């Protein structure tokens, strides 16, 4: 396997820049630009082919099996000058034993060497992209191997159940010393229950990773855009006393108590004669229906206070000039803002509470496949071991589905997509 190198930190002026070299020729490559390669770490002068100084760098040496990639790795911690980084990269590029790393290639080598499983790779990608505290916590949980540990437990129990099943096949003409049915049923039912719980939490985990959507809806000129501007801390929506100012859905990304939230300002609902406004109203209705939470802003106190479901919050708009039994919110004065944020945070926190360890649609599909196979197993076990061989085949299918979560089997088609999301140097 060829040795690769790349800048592992962001481009641009910085205090420190790190260039990573990974592969069998990493030490040889480093020895060409410094007098001696440290056994573990040391400060070294780096020079080019003519002996001219490139930089004074901290050099870290990770032996095979003890690095991120699992290969021998040399890291050059340089002064973060664009000119210094470019000069060192240029000199390394002149070495015919090296090539520049592709996007995500260091992480891919970590997967191939067994340093990470596929779920950990996905967790790392999410950690790099994390914008809020809750996203960070979720990504760290997966990157730390929590999902892989769970999969390993499921796999162990299913392998044990399969071994018991196959024992009945091997001793079909003899009497099996003990009745294995109760243990097989217990193992399979336990794994099936755990899978079912994780499947339930995947949707919430996806929303936590991608962001919850909260739609502001209500009649025209009720104060939705003014409220959005207040929450965003800047003018993102045009406000006017003229009804129908908002013609399309306006989105603002926010961090509410560590939760990623996209606020949606929708066009006021009314019977509009303007074709453009009609399209805006229709789009707003559709986005609001699909949102995780809807904030209904009313222009007058209702005769009957509506019952709030888990996805709906009702309040009175323009609280600076309107009063009633409902809580009021004013983007103009800030009245009721703290109440609304607390209300939104509470509702979304309840949704996030159901987050499991599995976080992606790929995980959900694999778990659903495993559940379907285990349901077949449980159904056949009701008839005893008359169909033991077919039951064992379904058990193997369930194990393969579980294995695919961490990349043991049947994931080649998703690898390119996953690693393309990484930056070069990672």
State the CATH number of the domain containing residue 391.
1.20.120.430
Which of the pair, 171 or 220, is modelled with greater confidence?
220
Whether residues 265 and 377 share a domain: the answer is no
The answer on whether 242 is annotated among ligand-binding residues is: yes
Domain extent for 381: 121-207+360-407
Q: Which residue has the tokens 């309107």?
A: 322
Whether residues 186 and 264 share a domain: the answer is no
pLDDT of residue 102: 92
Residue 331 lies in a domain: yes
Task: Say if residue 53's pLDDT is above 60.
Answer: yes
Whether residues 269 and 348 share a domain: the answer is yes
pLDDT of residue 179: 67
Q: Provide the token pair at 121.
A: 């790779």
Whether residues 268 and 384 share a domain: the answer is no
User: What CA–CA distance (Å, rounded) separates 31 from 43?
Assistant: 13
Task: Say if residue 263's pLDDT is above 50.
Answer: yes
Residue 415 lies in a domain: no
The answer on whether 200 is annotated among ligand-binding residues is: no
User: What CA–CA distance (Å, rounded) separates 45 from 180?
Assistant: 68
Residue 240 lies in a domain: yes
The answer on whether 246 is annotated among ligand-binding residues is: yes
Q: What is the DSSP letter of 103?
A: B
Task: Say if residue 85's pLDDT is above 80.
Answer: yes
State the CATH number of the domain containing residue 57.
3.30.1360.120
Residue 376 lies in a domain: yes
The answer on whether 265 is annotated among ligand-binding residues is: yes
CA dist list (Å): 356 to 2, 187, 215, 351, 360: 39, 21, 25, 11, 10
Whether residues 147 and 231 share a domain: the answer is no
Which of the pair, 131 or 86, is modelled with greater confidence?
86
pLDDT digits (tens, 9 = 90+) for 294-343: 999 888 877 777 777 788 999 888 888 877 778 888 888 888 899 999 99
Non-local (6+) Cβ contacts of 3 within 8 A are 21, 22, 23, 24, 25, 26, 29, 97, 98, 99
Asked whether the beta carbons of 13 and 62 are under 8 A apart, the reply is no
Count of structural domains within the chain: 3
* 206 band by pLDDT with thresholds 50, 70 and 90: confident
Task: Kindly calculate the radius of gyration of the chain based on its CA atoms and give it in whole angstroms.
Answer: 29
The answer on whether 224 is annotated among ligand-binding residues is: yes
* 47 band by pLDDT with thresholds 50, 70 and 90: very high
Q: Is 328 left (phi over 0), alpha (psi -120 to 50) or beta?
A: beta
Q: Show which of 69, 99, 117 is a domain's final residue.
A: 117
pLDDT of residue 242: 44
Of 12-26, 94-108, 197-211, the range with the lowest mean pLDDT is 197-211
Residue 402 lies in a domain: yes
Whether residues 219 and 242 share a domain: the answer is yes
Whether residues 285 and 346 share a domain: the answer is yes
Whether residues 189 and 283 share a domain: the answer is no
pLDDT digits (tens, 9 = 90+) for 382-414: 776 667 788 889 999 999 999 998 887 655 555
Which of these, 58, 209, 235, lies nearest to 132 by C-alpha position?
209
State the CATH number of the domain containing residue 268.
3.40.50.300
The answer on whether 373 is annotated among ligand-binding residues is: no
Could you tell me the strand order of the sheet in which 312-316 lies?
250-256, 259-265, 212-217, 293-298, 312-316
Whether residues 126 and 113 share a domain: the answer is no
Q: Show which of 117, 148, 181 is a domain's final residue.
A: 117
Residue 418 lies in a domain: no
* pTM tops 0.85, yes or no: no
Q: What is the DSSP letter of 424?
A: B
Task: Say if residue 44's pLDDT is above 70.
Answer: yes
Whether residues 348 and 222 share a domain: the answer is yes
The answer on whether 241 is annotated among ligand-binding residues is: yes
Q: Show which of 117, 144, 169 is a domain's final residue.
A: 117
Which of the pair, 323 or 195, is modelled with greater confidence?
195
Whether residues 143 and 12 share a domain: the answer is no
Whether residues 87 and 176 share a domain: the answer is no
User: What CA–CA distance (Å, rounded) separates 331 from 363?
Assistant: 41
The answer on whether 266 is annotated among ligand-binding residues is: yes
The answer on whether 181 is annotated among ligand-binding residues is: no
Task: Say if residue 272's pLDDT is above 60.
Answer: no
Asked whether the beta carbons of 89 and 33 are under 8 A apart, the reply is no
Residue 221 lies in a domain: yes
Task: Say if residue 238's pLDDT is above 50.
Answer: no
pLDDT digits (tens, 9 = 90+) for 150-174: 999 999 999 888 888 877 765 555 5
Residue 93 lies in a domain: yes
């Amino acid at each position: 396997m060829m040795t690769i190198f790349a800048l592992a930190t962001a481009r641009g002026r910085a205090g420190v820049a790190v260039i990573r070299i990974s592969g069998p020729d990493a030490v040889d490559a480093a020895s060409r630009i410094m007098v001696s390669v440290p056994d573990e770490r040391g400060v070294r002068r780096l020079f080019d082919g003519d002996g001219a100084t490139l930089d004074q760098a901290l050099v870290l040496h990770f032996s095979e099996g003890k690095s991120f990639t699992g290969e021998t790795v040399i890291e050059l911690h340089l002064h973060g000058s664009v000119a210094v980084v470019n000069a060192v990269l240029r000199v390394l590029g002149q070495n015919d034993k090296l090539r520049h790393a592709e996007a995500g290639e260091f992480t891919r080598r970590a997967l191939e060497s067994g340093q990470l499983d596929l779920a950990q790779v996905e967790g790392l990608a999410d950690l790099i992209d994390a914008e809020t505290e809750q996203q960070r916590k979720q990504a760290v949980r997966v990157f730390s191997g929590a999902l892989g540990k769970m999969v390993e437990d499921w796999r162990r129990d299913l392998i044990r159940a399969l071994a018991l099943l196959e024992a009945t096949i091997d001793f079909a003409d003899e009497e099996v010393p003990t009745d294995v049915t109760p243990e097989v049923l217990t193992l399979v039912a336990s794994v099936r229950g755990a899978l079912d719980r994780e499947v339930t939490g995947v949707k919430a985990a996806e929303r936590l990773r991608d962001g919850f959507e909260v739609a502001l809806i209500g009649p025209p000129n009720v104060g939705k855009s003014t409220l959005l501007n207040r929450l965003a801390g800047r003018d993102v929506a045009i406000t006017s006393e003229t009804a129908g100012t908002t013609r399309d859905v306006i989105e603002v990304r926010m961090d509410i108590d560590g939760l990623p939230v996209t606020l949606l300002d929708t066009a006021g609902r009314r019977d509009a004669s303007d074709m453009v406004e009609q399209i805006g109203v229709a789009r707003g209705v559709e986005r609001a229906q699909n949102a995780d939470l809807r904030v209904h802003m009313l222009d007058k106190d209702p005769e009957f206070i509506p019952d709030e479901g888990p996805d709906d919050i009702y309040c009175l708009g323009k609280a600076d000039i309107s009063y009633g039994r409902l809580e009021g919110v004013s983007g103009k004065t800030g009245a009721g803002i703290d109440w609304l944020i607390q209300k939104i945070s509470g509702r979304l926190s309840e949704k996030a509470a159901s987050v499991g360890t599995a976080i992606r649609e790929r995980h959900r599909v694999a778990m659903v496949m495993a559940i379907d196979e285990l349901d077949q197993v449980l159904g056949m076990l009701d008839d005893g071991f008359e169909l033991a061989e077919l039951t064992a085949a379904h058990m193997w299918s369930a194990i393969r589905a579980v294995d695919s979560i961490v990349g043991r089997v049947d994931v080649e088609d998703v690898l390119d997509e996953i690693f393309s999301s990484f930056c070069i140097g990672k």
